Amino acid sequence: MAKPPRPIKPPQPVADAISEPSSDLDALPPRVRALRDKILEAVSSGDIEALRPAIEWNETPPIFARGARPLAFSQLVEFLRTRSFDGKGAEILAILGAIFEQPYVRVRRGPVETYVWPAFAARQWPDPTPETRIAMYRCSRFANIRLTNDIGLPLIERVGIGADGTWHYFWAG
């Protein structure tokens, strides 16, 4: 008599392991630091087009909106330009600058390690200090200023860069 098949258990979600916030840029992997520097170079130029080399650093395009279909490299700068409140990209550059002024966290999900800026986007506390709350608003798009997350904090734009220097995402959450 054949044994009945054992039920297949669905894989259990892997919990994220989130480091303590850090401002130590020397502790970043070299490719993560190099991509951050490329992004900040574009920010300091004041021209959204200067972000193109950082975007094209990857083999695959970064994702710039949750739930959005991936865009081709050629479409990403224009997408950011139109997403910017001013229509020219200045808001996006200002937010990226504000994001990278903040501490980061290292997020590990299984074997995947991602560096996330700002740290308060990954580790949210229900009662931030007044200074942190101001920093949160600096990392939020004007169009999202009235929107909040599930604990009442602003929708914060965040950047995720893989340990190998791959720009994974820049989105709100």
**CA atoms within 13 A of residue 2's CA, in its CB half-sphere:** 3
pLDDT in tens, 7-58: 676 666 667 899 999 999 999 999 999 999 999 999 999 999 999 999 998 8
3-state SS string for the chain: CCCCCCCCCCCCCCCCEECCCECCHHHCCHHHHHHHHHHHHHHHHCCHHHHHHHHCCCCCCCECCCCCCCCCHHHHHHHHHHHCCCCCCHHHHHHHHHHHHCCEEEEEECCEEEEEECHHHHCCCCCCCHHHHHHHHHCCCHHHCCCECCCCCECCEEEEEECCCCEEEEEEC
For a pLDDT cut of 90, what percent of the chain falls above it? 58
Contact 156, 142 (CB under 8 A): no
Tokens coding 158 = 């965040």
pLDDT in tens, 125-140: 778 889 988 998 899 8
Output the pTM of the full model: 0.86
Domain extents in the chain:
21-172
Contact 161, 170 (CB under 8 A): no
pLDDT in tens, 103-126: 999 999 999 999 999 999 887 777
